Structure 1
Amino acid sequence: MRAQTRIGAATASLALASLGLVACGASADDQSSTGTTIVTSTTTWASIATIIGGEDFTIEALISDPAMGPHHYETSPRDIATIQDADLVLFNGGGYDQFVVDALESTSPAPRSINAYDIHLEHDHDADPGHTGDHDGHDQGTTPDDAHHDDHDAHDEGDHEAGDSHGEDSHDASSGEHGHDDGHGHGDDDGHGHGPVNEHIWFDLHTMSAVADELAGQLSEMNPDGAEAYQANAASFAEQIEALEDRAASIRAAHEGTEVAQTEPLTEYLLDELGLVDIAPREFVLAVENGTDPAASVTAAFSDLLDDREAAVLMYNATRESPTTRIMRDRAEANGTPIVAVAESVPAGMSYLEWMDSILDDVAEALDQE
């Protein structure tokens, strides 16, 4: 059987049309009804801004190409000026789009901003796997002057922090034996006592609902006339996130404990939601995440587990390909292992919700082949 590689086909089943969703915001040249500008780091966050703010704001993603990752993005003078002139800046944080943080820190006075990773750290993740149950009362994102709103209830920090770890065994790269380490968090410590950073928080559905709530609160302050609409949009977004979580729970019920492998720790929050176990050698994903080449023995260990069909699915980062990750993709194809190729940003022509729905489609179809 030949492996199937899928990249987010637009087969979304959610009722999205009523919000008029688009994959990214309007260009800076378009006119909004408020004359107010929201600048985001990537198309993913531009999509969230569009979902919540609708047509009331001009929304511009600094990185408008979904195939371009921000890891090595070099800020242009135009980018700096765009951030300085923004009324609100929405960015990922956690080191993912550090160029935005640098620009904000060099701007005085800095525009108000939302750091989604800070919300991720502050938000309660104690809900049952596969469903959050409650999206009310989220902590606020931070602005450079640490301003906060008073109309939200704070949550205690939950257990689903960046760097959750679920196992102590690891692949023995030197021997080629595969202990199954699905420990999460492949970067440096986040500096807040939460363990290693995994900055790919847009794959944490619960966090995205919290970010949407924070955004609605800030947009309501910026344009009180539209507050009711922004809150309604955030509530609708939360309902559709819950629909995605319900889908994830169904997949989890059918496939919990299934072993998969990632070329990079891109989708591990989603894998947690689905109850899937990442058995890729930790040394491999660490190296890819850090932009270095894994040791030959580590690459061989990964190849061996794919040859032995230990992983039911290969989760492949299509944005940050390298000769080493392509070896894994080719090996999976040769051995009939289904491949789910996932980008790092919302693909052109899709909304965030459509994108997540299509990824769940792809994962479910791949797992059904096991």
Structure 2
Amino acid sequence: MPMSPSRRLALLTGASLALLAGCGSSSSGSGSDGSTSQGTDSSSKVKVVASTNVYGDITEQIAGDKADVISIISDPAQDPHSYEANTQNQLALSKAKIVIENGGGYDDFIDRMLKSGNNSSAEVINAVKVSGKTAPKGGELNEHVWYDFPSTAKVADRIAAALGKADPADAAAFAKNAETFKTKLKALEAKEAQIKKEHGGDAVAITEPVPLYMIEASGLVDKTPGEFSEAIEEGDDVSPKVLQATLALFTGKQVKALVYNEQTSGPQTEKVESAAKSASIPVVPVTETLPKGKDYLGWMTDNVDALASALNK
């Protein structure tokens, strides 16, 4: 869903080139200071910048050791919606051959900084555009497409194609790695299909739309009042009436699980989590970026398995 103006402003505030060099911090899949890795022949590697470590990790699985990948946001405690980009990010983007952004209003600072850095030659992969996802009639786009495995497969193909264009000698290897990655995604889709077979139609609640694609693919029904999850995502207060309606899902045993975004917790979501636990309704924690020590496939396997486990309790 689109971000509120205040969140978009927060993302863009740090992007000004007037900031002093080194201001803020930059997270990187290859180096925490925003620099590329120092491996052998690093100068010959394809320079890739991803807005989050989700896309950074996918790129690394496809590129192997043929790319230097920087992930701007990689701290699992960081809310991507409120990330303030800095001049280190600007520098990395100015040198990138390939840039991977989520799109859909999620990480607009990428486009702004590319323009400011005069890097019009970088190939930009917009995951939302690649996915083909659009807002439903009368509704808003759910931009969290990395929780949709068919969409992630499309993005993997685009990454492999971009890498192959930048490094033709290794194009076949990139394509092969993408196929291996997509085969593993199919295993995740099979897990969702099994949940759908066993629990199709079961009701769950969420704190934010982050995991909705996974929930829908698993045949589950989101019973959360839209006003609640939308307000939490936008960083707005939830009205007492909407909060009470949400809490009633748990006190009334109307849902079988709560899928909880750990990266944007606050007093209202904590009340919801507490209500779920008090009602002995399982809580399934999810995040927007990779937990430390996990790759994308392992992370998503944990998420799907946790959802299945919660529904089987």
> Shorter-chain TM-score category?
0.7 to 0.9
Equivalent position of 1:273 in the other structure: 217
Deviation string, structure 1 residues 220-262 (Cα, Å, up to 9, x no partner): 0101111111000011111111111111111110000000000
| Higher helix proportion | 2
CA distance in 2, matches of 1:109, 1:163: 30
Equivalent position of 1:99 in the other structure: 109
Contact 1:25 1:49 in 2 (8 A): no
Q: Quick one: which amino acid aligns to residue 30 of structure 1? A: S
Q: Quick one: which amino acid aligns to residue 26 of structure 1? A: S
CA distance in 1, matches of 2:194, 2:85: 42
Q: Secondary structure at the match of 1:89?
A: strand
Q: Quick one: which amino acid aligns to residue 58 of structure 1? A: D
Contact 1:73 1:99 in 2 (8 A): no
Equivalent position of 1:348 in the other structure: 292
Contact 2:36 2:69 in 1 (8 A): no
Equivalent position of 2:125 in the other structure: 114
Equivalent position of 1:176 in the other structure: none
Q: Secondary structure at the match of 1:26?
A: coil
Q: Quick one: which amino acid aligns to residue 211 of structure 1? A: V
Deviation string, structure 1 residues 44-92 (Cα, Å, up to 9, x no partner): 1111111111111111111121221221111111111111111111111
Equivalent position of 2:29 in the other structure: 25
> Which 4+ stretches in 1 moved above 6 angstroms?
none
CA distance in 1, matches of 2:284, 2:65: 34
Higher relative contact order structure (alpha carbons within 8 Å, sequence separation ≥ 6): 1
Percent of aligned pairs with the same amino acid: 34
User: Does residue 1 of structure 2 align to residue 57 of structure 1?
Assistant: no
Equivalent position of 2:135 in the other structure: 163
Q: Quick one: which amino acid aligns to residue 79 of structure 1? A: N
Equivalent position of 1:4 in the other structure: none
Equivalent position of 2:150 in the other structure: 206
Gaps of 5+ in 2: 1-27
Q: Quick one: which of 76, 79, 85 aligns to 2:86?
A: 76
CA distance in 1, matches of 2:119, 2:284: 44
Q: TM-score, length-normalised on structure 2? A: 0.86
Q: How many residues align?
A: 279
How far the C-alpha of 1:164 sits from its partner, in A, is 4.1
Equivalent position of 1:283 in the other structure: 227
Contact 2:94 2:117 in 1 (8 A): yes
CA distance in 1, matches of 2:311, 2:165: 45
How far the C-alpha of 1:302 sits from its partner, in A, is 0.7
Q: Secondary structure at the match of 1:293?
A: coil
Structural mapping, 1:142-161, within 5 Å: 161=133
How far the C-alpha of 1:346 sits from its partner, in A, is 1.2
Equivalent position of 1:323 in the other structure: 267
CA distance in 2, matches of 1:332, 1:109: 48
Gaps of 5+ in 1: 1-23, 122-160, 166-188, 190-194
How far the C-alpha of 1:25 sits from its partner, in A, is 3.3
